[in-house]
A and B are shown apart, each in its own frame.
Chain A
Amino acid sequence: MTLRVAIVDDEAPARMVLREYLASDPDVEVVAECANGFEAVKAVAEQRPDLLLLDVQMPKLDGFEVLDLVRRDVAVVFTTAYDEYALKAFEVHAVDYLLKPFSRDRLHQALARVRERLSTAGQGVQATVTPVDLRRTADASGSPLTRIVIRDGADVHVIPVDRVDFIEAQDDYVAVHAGERPRLKEQTLGSLEAQLDPRRFVRIHRSYLLNLDRLARLEAVSKDTRMAVLRDGRRLPVSRTGFARLQELL
């Protein structure tokens, strides 16, 4: 089976060496060469590669953000000069992690692993991904998310968390409200909550995660029912446990 590969690296020499190494394998087809994360997400949507060879440090979207957006569709092998991301890479189920500079043999070893993974899991690189993994991702990186990336077809939206008003659960999706119209992301509210700074984002209700900066006041509707009134006048329900969490933080 021919392996369809997309190369993602913002440095031209790094893309060049990957092309050169891959050329010696007749069962590999390079379907895209991307210089940044946006191009990578677009290439995955349009070219449907089997494998992304993905740099970590890139403009706009880094390798982990790209993986977060495309993980269900493609196997990923990271290539980077930084060894400190290795643990995180395996926790988000990257197939392999190549430290620059790497040899031709090391790359082919990674390709063998990818083939093995694809054949045993059938179509299922996605089978290994669960919301629990996402929560672990936040832990592994140590610091909370500074921005949320959302894929919309081949487009990618990057929303700095400062701009988020609140996030609403909608079945398997979350709707991120940040000024303009809400954007949907395929993730559970619980796993997103775990990735955000708990002192800034409070689960005020089973279905709502609120940016504390946006809270204007709390309104008692009845004895046990309260509403959070946002600075722009919007109102969100607050559950009893949500109220307890707010009290703890305010």
Chain B
Amino acid sequence: MHPILHHWPRLRLFLLAWLPLGAAAGLGPFLAAGGAGHDWVPVALWGELFATPALASWYLVRYTPPGAGIGTLAWRVGGGAVTTASLWAAAGWAWFQLWAPVAPTPAARFTHFAPLAMGAVAVLFVSVSALHYALVAVDGRAEAMRRAHDAEVGARDAELRALRAQVNPHFLFNCLHSISALCGHDPEAARRMCQQLADFFRDSLRAGSERLVPLATEVALVRQYLDIERVRFGERLQTEIAVTDDAEAVRVPPLLLQPLIENAIRHGIATLVEGGDIRLQIRADGGRASAVVDNACDPDGRRGGTGIGLANVRARLHAVYGDQATLTAGATGTRYRVELSWPTEATS
């Protein structure tokens, strides 16, 4: 996109400024060299005509980024200025011959004023090139800001999606069904489950509104979630959580672990007749923290879910830590394992 031709307000300003400059580039040297004042029209038009090569300098600018080095820059822009000025002068010579019957002095005095006029338009050519470089820089910064804004919106979107995944409707419906079942036989347990469910949702929503939360909060949410699922799965769900003391204060994007635990249940424990175990291990050392979710799975089971949960966790880790965060996931035999690793100092 041409930074001037494609922006009407800029083009209007440019033409307004060019009108006197272009005319002056021709008329100045012409009058100084003794040209007759009443023959000004063809000379002024000749000057205005240079707007075309001046604007075309954009193509030179586009193929010569500022990083190309001062030598290349000077050589190309300077060369462009000399070439276009020469061509312009040649066109002028032919142009004044046509006008000779009505305005004879431009053709007659041509050799006297042409060199100075060429110098003037060469300077204009270099100036307009410089203007193009300046406009590209301005546009580049606007584009960078737009991208940063998009990234921020994307991150917020991911957060909302994570929250939605958290409040997985099927999880809620199954819990309500369990509560309904407990009401008949064990009203006390039904009441307890209502309480657990309320606490879990409240704490999730609170954590979800933060940008970063300590791992201790994440682990507490996971424990609440597992306690609820244990009502449904009973003995089939075995869990083991190990967190080193120094890892508890490490901060992470909220609701990072819960989707992994939910996957471990849905695609692991729930697919096994006898159930199985989920192990969560978290530690921090040497400036990095890691979380491993390792669960039993059916090696012959149908291939997991859609991978949306995992992609979401990866995107959220990436949004905060960039390339310094890693997520690996895969099955070996009867175990499925997801490992997250990230720097303990947030980079942004």
Q: Do A and B bind each other?
A: yes
- State the A residues within 8 Å of B (CB): 10-14, 16-17, 20, 35-36, 38, 57, 59-60, 81-82, 99-102, 146-147, 158, 160
Contacts A11-B233, A16-B185, A59-B272 given: A81-B177 contact, CB under 8 Å?
A: yes
A101 with B177: CB separation less than 8 A: yes
Cβ of A13 and Cβ of B273 under 8 Å apart?
no
B173, B176, B181, B273: the one within 8 Å of A36 (CB): B273
Q: Can you list 22 A-B contacts with CB-CB less than 8 angstroms, sorted by A residue number?
A: A10-B236, A11-B178, A11-B232, A12-B232, A13-B177, A13-B178, A13-B231, A13-B232, A14-B181, A14-B232, A16-B184, A17-B177, A17-B181, A35-B273, A38-B273, A60-B271, A81-B177, A82-B170, A100-B176, A101-B180, A147-B300, A147-B302
Please indicate the chain A residues that have their CB under 8 angstroms from the CB of B185 in the complex.
16, 20
Is B116's beta carbon under 8 Å from chain A?
no
CB-CB under 8 A for A17 and B184, given A11-B178, A59-B298, A160-B300? yes
Cβ–Cβ < 8 Å partners of B302 in chain A: 146-147
B234 within 8 A of A: yes
Of the candidates B174, B177, B272, the one having the most CB atoms from chain A within 10 angstroms of its own CB is B177
B212 at the interface (CB under 8 A from A): no
Tell whether, in the assembled complex, residue A59 and residue B181 are in contact, meaning their CB atoms are under 8 Å apart: no
Q: Mark B296-308, 1 if CB is under 8 A from A, else 0.
A: 0010101100000
Contacts A59-B271, A81-B170, A147-B302; is A12 near B176 (CB within 8 Å)? Answer: no
Most buried by B among A82, A99, A101: A101
Contact, CB under 8 Å: B232 / A81: no
**Nearest residue, chain B, Cβ from A57:** B270
In the complex, given contacts A10-B270, A60-B271, what are 18 additional A-B residue pairs having Cβ atoms less than 8 angstroms apart?
A11-B233, A12-B234, A14-B178, A14-B181, A14-B232, A16-B182, A17-B177, A35-B273, A38-B273, A59-B270, A60-B273, A60-B298, A81-B174, A99-B173, A100-B174, A100-B176, A101-B177, A147-B300
B232 (CB) vs chain A CBs: closest residue: A11
Q: How near does chain A come to B27, taking the closest CB pair, in angstroms?
A: 75
A146 contact set on B, CB distance < 8 A? 302-303
- Per the bound structure, the CA–CA distance linking A21 and B173 in Å amounts to 18
Contacts A11-B174, A147-B302: A16 and B273 contacting too (C-beta < 8 A)?
no
CB distance from A242 to the nearest CB of B (A): 29
- Give Cα distance in the complex from A4 to B45, angstroms: 102
**B residues at A contact (CB < 8 Å):** 170, 173-174, 176-182, 184-185, 231-234, 236, 270-273, 298, 300, 302-303
The 9 closest A-B pairs by CB, nearest first: A17-B181, A81-B173, A13-B181, A100-B177, A101-B177, A101-B180, A13-B178, A20-B184, A101-B176
> Which residues of chain B come closer than 8 Å to A57, judged between CB atoms?
270
Report chain B residues within 8 Å CB of A160.
300
In the complex, chain B residues whose CB is within 8 Å of the CB of A35: 273
Complex CA gap A35/B272 in Å reads 11
Nearest residue (CB) in B for A37 is B273
- Complex Cα distance A59/B237, Å? 13
- Closest chain-B Cβ to A30's Cβ sits at a distance in Å of 15
The smallest beta-carbon distance between A59 and chain B, in angstroms, is 5
Complexed CA–CA distance, A60 and B234 (Å)? 18
Q: How far is the CB of B233 from chain A (nearest CB, A)?
A: 7
Alpha-carbon gap, A100 to B169, bound state (A): 11
Which residues of chain B are near A13, meaning CB under 8 Å?
A: 177-178, 181-182, 231-232
Inter-chain contacts of B232 with A (CB < 8 A): 11-14
Question: Please, which residues of chain A bring their CB within 8 A of the CB of B233?
Answer: 11
Chain B residues near A59 (CB-CB < 8 A):
270-273, 298
- Determine the distance from Cα of A234 to Cα of B74 in the docked complex, in whole angstroms: 75
Residues of B close to A10: CB separation below 8 A: 236, 270, 273
Of A20, A59, A82, A158, which is in contact with the most chain B CB atoms at under 10 Å from its CB?
Answer: A59
Assembled-state Cα–Cα distance A202/B6 (Å): 56
Could you tell me the distance between the alpha carbons of A38 and B274 in the complex, rounded to whole angstroms? 12
Question: Smallest distance from the beta carbon of B179 to chain A beta carbons, Å?
Answer: 8
- Kindly name the residue among B174, B182, B300 whose own CB sees the greatest number of chain A CB atoms within 10 A: B174
Inter-chain CA distance A57–B173, complex, in Å, is 14
- A14 vs B177: C-alpha distance in the bound complex, in angstroms? 7
In the complex where A35-B273, A36-B273 touch, is A16 in contact with B181 (Cβ < 8 A)?
Answer: yes
* Minimum distance in angstroms from A175 CB to a CB of chain B: 21
Contact of B173 among A11, A60, A101 (CB under 8 A): A101
A residues within 8 A CB of B300?
Answer: 147, 158, 160
**Is B180 in contact with A17, judged by CB distance below 8 angstroms?**
yes
Cα A212 to Cα B133 in complex, Å, equals 59
CB distance from A16 to the nearest CB of B (A): 5
Taking the nearest CB of chain B, how far is it from the CB of A93, in angstroms? 24
Question: In the complex, what distance in Å separates the CA atom of A82 from the CA atom of B231?
Answer: 19
